[in-house]
A and B are shown apart, each in its own frame.
Chain A
Amino acid sequence: MAILTVSGLRKSFGANEVLRGIELSVAERELVFIIGPSGSGKSTLLRCLNRLEEPTAGSVTFDGREVTARATNLNRLRRSMGMVFQSFNLYPHMTALGNVTLALRRVLKKSRAEADALGLAALTGVGLADKASSYPNELSGGQQQRVAIARALALDPRIVLFDEPTSALDPELVGSVLSVMRDLKARGMTMLVVSHELRFAREAADRVVFMDAGRIVEEGAPETIFSAPRELRTKAFVAQLIR
């Protein structure tokens, strides 16, 4: 049963059409990997799903609700769609716990004690309970990204969108973030991941989607996409990644 359905999704920035009719559906508990050359529209696709970017045309349905409908309460919708960014985007003036609990307190109107308990649980989930009172500038990139994941998870979302979560990290810090994502997958979270971590994709993804020039070129099981792709463009891109 699909929890997220995208159909005919288009997005233009001025005369530049970045998404040219995307059809995609994601099942509950599925981990879908999106790969593709830079500029292919992967991040824009992700950002259209929670309407950080307004789609130009097409529709997105999430959990039975029309995301793209005018009347949709975006703030309510976004609570159940977590998002993790390439550059972490932690609030520099708040501690790790403050980052994780802000939405709990201001959006879900939880008391400080209740929010702190939930926030601490979320930080424990990413292995950073001991960093609760650290500020972002006191944390490594990998720790910051895990706090950002905890911030998304604290709201108990139905899906988490990852926009190149490890691209800004030093190689030795990537593993800690991937291991958190692996745990998340094991706990049955639905995930949509834009990333170039091929090994992780092979091991954890249920499906890999290859995008190029604003379209989905090919999708399938990781083994198929990486080892026996149908399309020439996929073959060329994968060859480049592996080399």
Chain B
Amino acid sequence: MTAWQRFLETFFKPEMLAQYWPSIAHGVLVTLEIASAVVLTGLSFGLLLAGLRAYRLVPLNIAIVVFVDVFRSLPPLVAILIIYFGLPGVGINLPSFVVLWLVLSLVLTAFAEEIFWAGIISTPKGQWEAARSTGLGFSETLLFVVLPQAVRLGVPPLTNRTIAITKNTALGTVIGVGEILNQATAAQSFSGNATPLMMGAIAYILLFLPVVAVGRWIETRFQWRRA
């Protein structure tokens, strides 16, 4: 057997491809579901917290900053393990996919809050003054004038961060969430062949490449020359 044949045999064995594509496809579906849920909740709560922080209520802001800093410094895997294996001890049993969704959402919330907040504070003071001088209240100014600008400013850093965090759905494999990597490693240990892992890798690329491309498109679309 030549080296090339051995390579194909290891990573692209036809029987393996045929046997395991349905479970990898199922994994793609699960990854897709969790990733979209994480993006939806993480970005909305990040925006919500950044908006609340603009009111500068000291106790609330301390709580937000503590939350944000904790979840920006904690490796998501650690949080996943603590919640999944710890919470049952106090009588709370969460399904593994809920734990994965929860932790990744909290992490994305934390990073998104910081990015949106940076956008809020870099919106020029004159924007607030112009809006307030026409009789808009604080909340209306925040909602209609400042947040739309903060969101646009935040889009480029957010796309990268969002992709980085949604890729962490692969961490779900350690608590048995049936996403791509979990399906692939299970197949690999049954078959003793690396083909399912390669299928998983290709599935990730097929899944995230369009996301990266859309991210790039959003980045250019959301920028506008500032007056």
Contact = CB atoms under 8 A, between A and B. Distances in A.
A88 B134 CA distance: 13
Most buried by B among A89, A90, A139: A89
A85 interface: yes
Contacts, number: 78
A136 B152 CA distance: 16
A93 B152 contact: yes
Nearest to A76: B135
A89 B135 contact: no
Nearest to A151: B134
B225 A137 contact: yes
B189 interface: no
A107 B135 contact: yes
B227 A93 contact: no
A93 B224 contact: yes
B127 A83 contact: no
A152 interface: yes
A107 B133 CA distance: 11
Contacts of A102: 131, 134, 136, 144-145
Contact of A75 (B124, B137, B226): B137
Contacts of A75: 132, 135-137
Contacts of B137: 75
Most buried by B among A81, A93, A107, A136: A93
B133 A106 contact: no
Contacts of A76: 135
A137 B227 contact: yes
A87 B134 contact: no
A90 B226 contact: no
A89 B134 contact: no
Given A87-B126, A92-B226, A93-B224, A78 B132 contact: yes
Nearest to B126: A89
A contact patch SS = mixed
Interface string B124-163: 1011011111111100100011001100100000000000
Contacts of B140: 106-107
Given A85-B126, A87-B126, A92 B227 contact: yes
Nearest to A103: B134
Contacts of A92: 149, 224, 226-227
B153 to A, nearest CB: 10
Nearest to B125: A89
B135 A144 contact: no
A91 B145 CA distance: 7
Contact of A88 (B131, B133, B227): B227
B134 A52 contact: no
A52 B131 CA distance: 11
A90 B227 contact: yes
Most buried by A among B133, B136, B145, B227: B133
Nearest to B127: A89
B135 A155 contact: yes
27 contacts: A50-B133, A52-B132, A75-B132, A76-B135, A78-B132, A78-B134, A78-B135, A79-B134, A79-B135, A82-B133, A83-B129, A85-B126, A85-B129, A88-B227, A89-B124, A89-B127, A89-B130, A93-B148, A93-B149, A102-B144, A103-B134, A103-B136, A107-B140, A136-B227, A137-B224, A137-B227, A152-B133
Given A106-B136, A152-B134, 4 more contacts: A52-B129, A103-B134, A107-B134, A155-B135
